[in-house]
Amino acid sequence: MSVFAYPSTVIVEAERPLLDAGVDLMARASRALAHFCADVLRESRGQIFGSRVCVFAGPGNNAGDALFAAAALARRGAHITVVTLFDRTHDQGLAAARRAGASVISSPSAEETTDPSVEAAGHCSAEVRAQLRADVMRELSRSDLVLDGIFGTGGRRGLPEHIASLIRDWRHSAGANSNTNTAGTRTSRFGTGTYTTQTLIAVDIPSDLSPADTGSEDRIHADHTVTFGGLKAELIDPRVAAFTGTVHLVDIGLELHESQATAEVVDTDDLNAGFPRPEPDGHKYSRGVVGILAGSEEYPGAGVLTTTSAVNCGVGMVRSLGSQMVAEYVIGLHAEVVTASGRMNAVVMGPGNPEDEYVHACVDALANTNVPVVLDAGALDMVGRAESVKGTWLAERPVVLTPHAGELARLLSRLLGEIITSSRINADPIGWAQRAAQSSGCIVLLKGHQTVIAAPDGFCVLPEAGPASLATAGSGDVLAGIIGALVATFHAKNQHEPPLPERELAHIVGLGVLVHNAAGRRAVNAGALGDAVAEVAGELIHRGSLIE
């Protein structure tokens, strides 16, 4: 179900009242972490007893989580090696790990010295440093599981060089033995019939989590991140997926309010729960009427695909607002589509670049209404070189824009009056979708493998990533039809209420993306995709949930 993401500062703030009341949050966090690690070890090795676990321990409470979890694993028979990376760490955590039998290697952190008599913690001779480094590398190479407890929410960007070089060397040495490209995260051995997997788990957040590519060799690439209390907003950025691995959220009893969230991650459970079903006393108008202005003499197929997916999504009625020729194609396939004018609860404009005369007629028909519009493809050009849609026919109505990166680059170049390239968009999809939503005043759905939906207040909805099969001609037309149908249905339900809050509309658009993803898992081209929408909507309406 929906998981809301919060800035780390909000999560740390929510810990405060519980800590003040004496609640041992670290015990909750480390217990859950130990359970997770135990599951991983059981799955990869069959048992915890005899497994080898290496803990990178930093200077703060993040190390505390890792060390208490390691102590729990040691009590279940795991061999634990703690690598302390600073001249201080979480004392109680380290004591607990030692009591449970952990060995400790103090990895040297200070500058090299040539004086062999200086061997205090952090200051040691080159020879001793080399030996300690070799010990750490040996331990890392034979570990079944490595815990990144270097920095958590208190971490600043940029690992100190002694840690960066350690990670770099480890990644290189693991890469030499690995049959995957994810050097250091997974080592497979075949031939003897055994298969060992090394798993790297980041505690709360991977240390030095940065969306930048630079220096990525020196950073933690986790297989899993076990995060506590609330989903940290930085973990959901698609650019950090290679560093976080799969993110697992552990509830430690914090009180967080959705209003403080900056994003929402939605998945199939949300679709199962939120997809609109016909009401027993409903009728075609209460289920929503969507107008589709899509397709042209040049691209008639876009009209067919957009209309097909809207019809198949289970909306009350679909009106074809385009040319006679497109309408004939559409009605040939879907006899229920109506060409007569009349009431509408949402309109989709733009797929297949409909001719101007139909666009003008449609804009006239929508004047003095608050009917929401979904602008796709050619219709995106209607959002012009203004700070927002204020003062245009788009004002006072919900507007959803559905660009891909190239279209968003053109749109933003117009809105911001500077050249924005699609490669810049691809380098920061969330940031640019938010920028476009804020400056246009519209909901912006940026299409991609990880589609991002941004509302004008910056709030984002991230639907789970779609299948690669969706990257095919006409797929966007299908998506526009689905979103138009859903927006029409929700708007029909709420037409006598105040307008849907932007975040709610963004959520509905997110459900549309999930329908599209589910259809994409059943089809390999856009024609079949439009048909698969009927299958998906049919399961949601008649069965109550998707068969997946």
Binding site, annotated residues: 302, 352, 404, 447-451, 476-477
Q: Which amino acid type is present at position 342?
A: G
Q: Which amino acid type is present at position 19?
A: L
Shortest reach from residue 53's CB to ligand NAX, in Å: 17
Classify burial at 49, counting beta carbons within 10 Å of its beta carbon; exposed 0-12, middle 13-18, buried 19 or more: exposed
> Should residue 512 be labelled a site residue for ligand NAX when binding is judged by CB under 6 A?
no
Among 155, 184, 398, 530, binds ligand NAX (CB under 6 A): 155
> Should residue 376 be labelled a site residue for ligand NAX when binding is judged by CB under 6 A?
no
Instruction: List, as residue ranges, the binding site for AMP.
Output: 447-451, 476
> Should residue 238 be labelled a site residue for ligand NAX when binding is judged by CB under 6 A?
no
Shortest reach from residue 159's CB to ligand NAX, in Å: 6
**Beta strand segments in 204-357, E:** 224-228, 231-232, 246-250, 263-266, 289-293, 317-320, 346-349
Greatest extent of the chain over all pairs of C-alpha atoms, in Å: 93
Among 61, 296, 345, 438, binds ligand NAX (CB under 6 A): 61
Shortest reach from residue 232's CB to ligand NAX, in Å: 9
Interaction mask 14-53, ligand NAX, x per CB under 6 A: -x---x-----xx--x------------------------
Q: CB within 8 A of 503, min separation 6: which ones? A: 264, 455, 457, 459, 461
If the CB atoms of residues 30 and 81 are measured against ligand NAX, the closer one turns out to be 30
Query: What's the sign of the alpha-carbon dihedral 87, 91, 97, 99?
Result: positive
Q: Is 146 helix (H, G, I), strand (E, B) or coil?
A: strand
Shortest reach from residue 72's CB to ligand NAX, in Å: 14
Among 62, 84, 307, 438, binds ligand NAX (CB under 6 A): 62
Nearest alpha-carbon partner for 8 in 212, 223, 211, 152: 152
If the CB atoms of residues 151 and 275 are measured against ligand NAX, the closer one turns out to be 151
Q: How far is CA 500 from CA 278, 288, 422, 449, in A?
A: 20, 15, 31, 27
Nearest alpha-carbon partner for 492 in 264, 279, 273, 269: 279
> Should residue 203 be labelled a site residue for ligand NAX when binding is judged by CB under 6 A?
yes
Site for ligand NAX in 211-230 (CB under 6 A): 228
Structural element, H or E, at residue 123? none
Tell me the residue number closest to ligand NAX, measured at CB: 152
Question: Which range of residues in 151-159, 209-217, 314-322, 379-387 is near ligand NAX by CB under 6 A?
Answer: 151-159
> Should residue 65 be labelled a site residue for ligand NAX when binding is judged by CB under 6 A?
yes
Q: Is 26 helix (H, G, I), strand (E, B) or coil?
A: helix
Nearest alpha-carbon partner for 269 in 537, 12, 541, 1: 1
Residues that bind ligand NAX (CB under 6 A): 15, 19, 25-26, 29, 58-62, 65, 151-156, 158-160, 203-204, 228
